[in-house]
Structure 1
Amino acid sequence: MIAGYRCPRDGRTSAASELAWRCPDCGGPWDLDFTAGVVEHDQLPQRVNSLWRYAEALPLVDPKISFGEGRTPLVSITDRLSVKLDYLMPTLSFKDRGAVMLLEAARRLRPARVIADSSGNAGTAVAAYAARAGLPARIYVPASTSAKKIEQVRAHGAEVMIIDGDREATATAAQQAADEDGSFYASHVYNPYFLHGTKTYGYELWEDLGGRLPEVVVLPVGNGTLVLGVALAIAELVDHGLTDQRPRLVAVQAESVAPLARARAAGLTELPPGYAHGAETITEGIAIAEPARAEQILRAVDESYGDIVTVDDDEVRAAQRDLAGRGLYVEATAAACWAAVRHAEQTDDGQLGWRLLRDHETVAPLCGAGLKTGLA
C-alpha cells in the first residue's frame, strides 16, 4: 500500500491504485495524504549518499529504480551567493528528484503505460526512470522542444508525441491519453509524489549548511514544482523543530510569460481563467501560461514574505554566458535565477525581490545542463 491522494480544495481522497490523476470534483491537482517524519541531522553521515537518505520524510522507501540521484554540490560564488549544481543528475536536470519518486510509485502500481507531458527535462527524467522500472512510456512535447531533449527521450525507449502548439496544448493532449484505462499520468504538475521528490532540494540545503537554511532561496517558476517542493521542505523542517529559519522565496519568471508575477503585482491570490497567454522565450522550461498550482505557488511565496520577479531573454543569455565563463555550463532556463541575481546587483529598483537578492545570503539552483540545448 502506498500513500493516496487528497484534494487540498475539497478534501476528496483517492487511493493511488485508482490512477485518478486529478480531483474528479474540482479538477485540480492532488496533494499527498502523507505526514513526514523527523530527519535527524546527526544520523545522515552514515546513510546512502542520495536523496533517499531523508527516508523519514519520504512517502516511499526501499526504492528499486534509483540511480543515486540527489546530493548535488553546493558551490560558493561569493561570500553571499552560492549555487547548487542540480544539473549534475543522471538525466542532467533537477527533475530527477521528482521523477524517481513518481516512477517508484508507478512501478509499485504496475500500470499498462506511463504518460507524461513536458517541455523536455521532465520528459527525459520520466522516460529514463520508466525504462529503469520496466514500464512503457509515452511523452508528449511541444514542437518547440530542443531536438537534443527529444533525442534523449527517444534514447530511453519512450514514444515521443510532438504536439503543434504551446505547452498548454501539449498538456491537454497528454491528459486525454491519461484518461485511458490503465494509464498512469506521471505529471510533475498534478501528481504530488513529484513534489515530495523535489523537496529534497530543501533538505539538502539544510544538511549542507550544518542544520540551517539560507536567508533567501531563489527559484525558477513555471509550473512551480521546485518552489512548492522547497516550501514543503521548509514547513516540515520548521514543524519538526529542526530549524527556526524560514527562508524568503524569490521566484523567477520569463518576462514574456509571467502570469504569476503579474498576479502577485496585482494582489491576486489565484489566476483568473484566461489571465495569461503563452509567448516565445528561450527559457522553455518555465514558459507556462496557466500553471495548475498557481494558487499554491502564490501562497507559498506570500507566506515566505518573498516575491516574484521577471527577467528578459537578453538577461538570460548574458547570465548563461557568465556562468559558462565561471565553469558552469547550463541551459537557458537554468540561467534564469542567475540572471535575476545579476539584475539585482545592477539595479537600485526598490521591488522587494530585487532587494532580497541584493542584500541577503542567497542560494540559486542550476537546474539543467547546457548540453541539453547549447548556448541560447
Structure 2
Amino acid sequence: MTSYHCPDCGTGSPVETALWCCPACRGPWDLDFTAAPVDLNSLPGRVNSLWRYEEALPLPTPAATSLGEGRTPLVPLTTTVSAKLDFLMPTLSFKDRGAVMLAELARGLSPRRVIADSSGNAGTAVAAYCARAGLDCTVYVPEATSAKKVEQIRAHGAHLELVPGDREDTATAARAAADTPGTFYASHVYNPYFLHGTKTYVYELWEELGGRLPEAIVVPVGNGTLLLGASIALSELHTHGLITERPALIAVQAEAVSPLAAAFHAGAEELLDESVESGPTLAEGIAIPRPPRARQILRAVRESGGTFLTVTEDQIRAAQLDLAARGLFVESTGVACWAAVGGWRDRTAVVPLCGAGLKTGLAPGQSVQ
C-alpha cells in the first residue's frame, strides 16, 4: 500500500495504521500515489467495472470487492450538453465509485467494524459494499434522512444510527466513534481512496468519447468528492499526454446552502470567516455548510478555469420534472447540474445524474399532469 499525507501541515502516516485523519491538525488525508498511464487501446475486453482502469487505481487488481460498478451510459440532452447516468449504479448513486474503493481497502486491513456517515447515498453505498466484502458496518445518518434510503441501508445488513440534528451533527457523531480501536472510518470526505474511485467518472468519459473530453465538466458540490476526483483524473490524463487541454470544472451548489460559491466569488482561498446563511434545500446531498476540503475544492475550480453556479429551489423542481419528461427520473440533488446549465449552447458539457428518483420521490410541491 501507499501512504497518507496531510496537505495542510505535511504530516504523513502509513495507510495500514487506519488513522482516519491527520493526527496533528485533524484535517483530511491526501494520498501519496502516482498513477500510471492508461492505454486507451487496451481497454476493450477488460473487466466491465471501474477496476478496468487498474493502472490508475491505488489498490491491487483484480479486486475481490465489486458489484460491477461504473461504465454508466452517456446520453445527449441537447446539442451541447450530455448526461452521464450514474444513478444506474448498483446502489443507484455515483457514491458506489468511491465506496467500492473504501470497502476493498478495509477488507485488506480487516477491522472489527466499519463506520460511515452520510446524508443517505454514501451510507447506502458503503453498507452495500461492506456486505459484499463481508465486513461489519455501522452507518450514521441524520434522523430526517429519506425513508427509502434508510430502508436501503438496513436491507444491506448495516447497523443504523439515526442522529438528531443536521448533517454536521451526524458527521460529529461518526468522527467520535471513528477513534474507537479496531474501527475503520469509511469516510467519503476524509479518506482519499474515495476520491480515487470517483475519478473514474472522468476516465469513463475519456474512454467513451474516444480519448477526448468535453469543454466543461459540471458537478454538484457539497463535500466535493466528485469534483476533487475529477480534478485528480484531469491532472493524471494531462500529465500522461492523454489529453491536451483540461476541461473547465463547473461547480454547482444550491443557493440555500452555498458556502463554497460565496467564497469563490469573493476571491477567497477558503471559506469566509463570517457565517454564510443556510436554509433548507431540496438538494440535501450537497447541503454541507463547512466542507473539510473547502480549500482544495476552491483551488481545483480556479486552476481549471471554471466557476461556481447556484440554483434556486424552483429551478431544482423544474429541472426534476424536465428530466422526468425526457425519461430520466432523478432525485432532487442529482438534478442540480441540469438546473444550472440546461440552456447552455456555447460549449460542450457533461452533467452527472447522480441519484435515482426512487430514493426520494418527487420534490415537495411538484405536480404531474
Same structural fold, with TM-score higher than 0.5 when normalized by the shorter chain: yes
Report if the CA contact (8 A) 2:258-2:278 is conserved. no
The alignment status of 1:223 with 2:210, answered yes or no, reads no
Report if the CA contact (8 A) 2:216-2:347 is conserved. yes
Structure 1: 4+ residue segments shifted above 3 A: 272-278
The alignment status of 1:367 with 2:354, answered yes or no, reads yes
Displacement after TM superposition at 1:11 (Å): 2.0
- Shifted more, 293-302 versus 268-277: the winner is 268-277
How many aligned residue pairs are there? 362
Aligned counterparts of 1:278 and 1:167: Cα–Cα separation in 2 = 13
Residue in structure 2 matched with residue 349 of structure 1 by the alignment? none
Displacement after TM superposition at 1:272 (Å): 4.2
Residue in structure 2 matched with residue 208 of structure 1 by the alignment? 208
The alignment status of 1:331 with 2:316, answered yes or no, reads no
Residue in structure 2 matched with residue 49 of structure 1 by the alignment? 48
The alignment status of 1:341 with 2:341, answered yes or no, reads yes
Residue in structure 2 matched with residue 180 of structure 1 by the alignment? 180
1:44-78 Cα shifts (integer Å, max 9, x gaps): 11211111110000001221110110010000122
Displacement after TM superposition at 1:273 (Å): 5.1
Equivalent residues in 2 for 1:121-160 (5 A)?
Answer: 121-160=121-160
Residue in structure 2 matched with residue 8 of structure 1 by the alignment? 7
Aligned counterparts of 1:117 and 1:137: Cα–Cα separation in 2 = 11
1:359 aligned counterpart, secondary structure: coil
Equivalent residues in 2 for 1:10-49 (5 A)?
Answer: 10-49=9-48
Aligned counterparts of 2:275 and 2:82: Cα–Cα separation in 1 = 35
Structure 2 counterpart of 1:153, one-letter code: I
Displacement after TM superposition at 1:274 (Å): 5.9
Structure 2 stretches of 5 or more lacking a match?
364-369
Structure 2 counterpart of 1:314, one-letter code: D
Residue in structure 2 matched with residue 353 of structure 1 by the alignment? none
Aligned counterparts of 2:177 and 2:272: Cα–Cα separation in 1 = 26
The alignment status of 1:270 with 2:257, answered yes or no, reads no
Displacement after TM superposition at 1:130 (Å): 0.6
Residue in structure 2 matched with residue 261 of structure 1 by the alignment? 261
Displacement after TM superposition at 1:195 (Å): 0.2
Report if the CA contact (8 A) 2:80-2:345 is conserved. no
Aligned counterparts of 1:129 and 1:3: Cα–Cα separation in 2 = 22
Displacement after TM superposition at 1:288 (Å): 0.2
Structure 2 counterpart of 1:290, one-letter code: R
Residue in structure 1 matched with residue 285 of structure 2 by the alignment? 285
1:150-191 Cα shifts (integer Å, max 9, x gaps): 000000011111111111110000000001111101000000
1:312-359 Cα shifts (integer Å, max 9, x gaps): 1111011001000000011000000010013xx3xxxxxxxxxxx441
Aligned counterparts of 1:129 and 1:322: Cα–Cα separation in 2 = 32
1:91-135 Cα shifts (integer Å, max 9, x gaps): 000000000011100000000111110000000000000111111
Identity over aligned pairs, percent: 65
1:46 aligned counterpart, secondary structure: coil
Structure 1 stretches of 5 or more lacking a match?
346-356
Aligned counterparts of 1:123 and 1:17: Cα–Cα separation in 2 = 23
TM-score normalised by the chain length of structure 2: 0.96
Displacement after TM superposition at 1:18 (Å): 1.0
1:139 aligned counterpart, secondary structure: strand
Report if the CA contact (8 A) 2:263-2:272 is conserved. no
Structure 1 counterpart of 2:34, one-letter code: T
Structure 2 counterpart of 1:99, one-letter code: A
Structure 2 counterpart of 1:375, one-letter code: L
Aligned counterparts of 2:22 and 2:301: Cα–Cα separation in 1 = 24
Residue in structure 1 matched with residue 367 of structure 2 by the alignment? none
Structure 1 counterpart of 2:322, one-letter code: D
Aligned counterparts of 2:114 and 2:272: Cα–Cα separation in 1 = 31
Aligned counterparts of 1:277 and 1:181: Cα–Cα separation in 2 = 37
